[in-house]
Amino acid sequence: MKTSFIQAKSILNKSNIGGYTLNPYTGCSHGCVYCYNQHFIKIIKPKEKWGQFLEIKINAPELLEKEIAGKYKNKKDRVFFSTITDPYNPFEKQHQLTRRCLEVLSKHKWSVDILTKSDLILRDLDIFKQFNKKISIGFTITTINPYFALFLEPDASMPEKRIEALKILKKTGIKTYVFIGPILPYFTNLKEIFEILQNNADYLLLDTFNTKKENWQGLEKILKRHYPSLIKEYQEKLCLNRSEYEQELKEKINILSQTYKIPVKILF
């Protein structure tokens, strides 16, 4: 992993779904084979290869303080961590940029939404409590099978660890959710996931797999190596008969939501 320290010029980015996004880092070492950033990074940083570089925005907390006290003065909005990194990637342990940005946001009484695949998030429990309910924390779960997770998301916390962290956060009264996505045929066992999340998440977000060039190539490589017989099924479900597949999936999700009494938001 090639790391570099950079001085960011701005830190809050307006999101087209409302609020702002904040990326204390650009890049991620979790190595998810399906990561959409493999595609986006080609557009914004054509010389870099996703998963092999990390930019550490060393001035992120100070810049955030400056932006909130300056151009966003008198505004109390919501910030989503993050879109082009995992805010709790392993480098956060040392650099604490996410933690220090959270301190700034808590001080200014902004709301926060965090999505991660790392149990390092538990380190910041003390800060989450300061948000006084103006925070929601989500974990991405694609599979709960540790063997599948090892080749799909090799360097993220194991799903079991994420679920343990989710339970701890939920117990402390923090609003929690799980993003089940991308739903991968064969690997994402929805029934098993709903069962385990019952009473441990306030709601679920679900999405299918968007077969953009680079993220499909990443997944296809793994399928070819471990499950070549699945490639045909993937092509049929995600390309040839996508609308039929999605319709069946929606029906299944709605039944599971009623059975396990977990509210869902289907994103496809």
Site of interaction with ligand SF4 (CB under 6 A): 28, 30, 32, 35, 37, 85-86, 117, 156
Task: Decide whether 32 or 262 has the Cβ nearer to ligand SF4.
Answer: 32
- For residues 15 and 224, what is the distance between their CA atoms, to the nearest angstrom? 36
Least distance in Å: CB of 89 to ligand SF4?
7
Least distance in Å: CB of 226 to ligand SF4?
18
Task: Decide whether 61 or 181 has the Cβ nearer to ligand SF4.
Answer: 181
- What is the gyration radius of the CA atoms in the chain, in angstroms? 19
Of 204, 96, 90, 184, the residue nearest 142 (C-alpha) = 184
Q: DSSP code of 18?
A: S
Least distance in Å: CB of 170 to ligand SF4?
21
**Which tokens in the block code for residue 150?**
């090892």
- For residues 233 and 221, what is the distance between their CA atoms, to the nearest angstrom? 15
Least distance in Å: CB of 171 to ligand SF4?
24
DSSP codes joined into one string, 21-84: EE-SEE--SS--TT-THHHHHHHH-TTS-TTSEEEEETTHHHHHHHHHHTTTTT---EEEE-SS
Least distance in Å: CB of 255 to ligand SF4?
28
Least distance in Å: CB of 49 to ligand SF4?
12
Torsion from C-alpha of 21, 91, 38, 268, nearest 10 degrees: -50
Task: Decide whether 32 or 249 has the Cβ nearer to ligand SF4.
Answer: 32
Task: Decide whether 86 or 124 has the Cβ nearer to ligand SF4.
Answer: 86
**Which tokens in the block code for residue 146?**
């540790």
Least distance in Å: CB of 88 to ligand SF4?
9
Task: Decide whether 65 or 119 has the Cβ nearer to ligand SF4.
Answer: 119
How many residues are present in the chain? 268
- For residues 52 and 1, what is the distance between their CA atoms, to the nearest angstrom? 5
Task: Decide whether 89 or 257 has the Cβ nearer to ligand SF4.
Answer: 89
Specify whether the CB–CB gap between 139 and 165 falls below 8 A.
yes
Task: Decide whether 51 or 61 has the Cβ nearer to ligand SF4.
Answer: 51
DSSP codes joined into one string, 113-141: EEEES-GGGGGGHHHHHHTTT-EEEEEE-
